[in-house]
A and B are shown apart, each in its own frame.
Chain A
Amino acid sequence: QTVVTQEPSLTVSPGGTVTLTCASSTGAVTSGNYPNWFQQKPGQAPRTLIYSTSNKHSWTPARFSGSLLGGKAALTLSGVQPEDEAEYYCLLYYGGAQLQCVFGGGTKLTVL
Chain B
Amino acid sequence: QVQLVESGGGVVQPGGSLRLSCAASGFTFSDYGVHWVRQAPGKGLEWVAFIRYDGSNKYYADSVKGRFTISRDNSKNTLYLQMNGLRAEDTAVYYCAKTSGQPYYFDYWGQGTLVTVSS
Contacts and interface: CB of A to CB of B under 8 A. Distances in A.
Contacts, number: 64
Interface in A84-104: 87, 89, 91, 93, 98-104
Interface of B: 35, 37, 44-47, 50, 57, 59, 61-62, 95, 97, 100, 102-112
A93 B112 CA distance: 22
A45 B95 contact: yes
A46 B47 CA distance: 13
Interface of A: 1, 34, 36, 38, 40, 45-48, 51-52, 57, 87, 89, 91, 93, 98-106
A48 B47 contact: no
A87 B10 CA distance: 26
A88 to B, nearest CB: 11
B103 A93 contact: yes
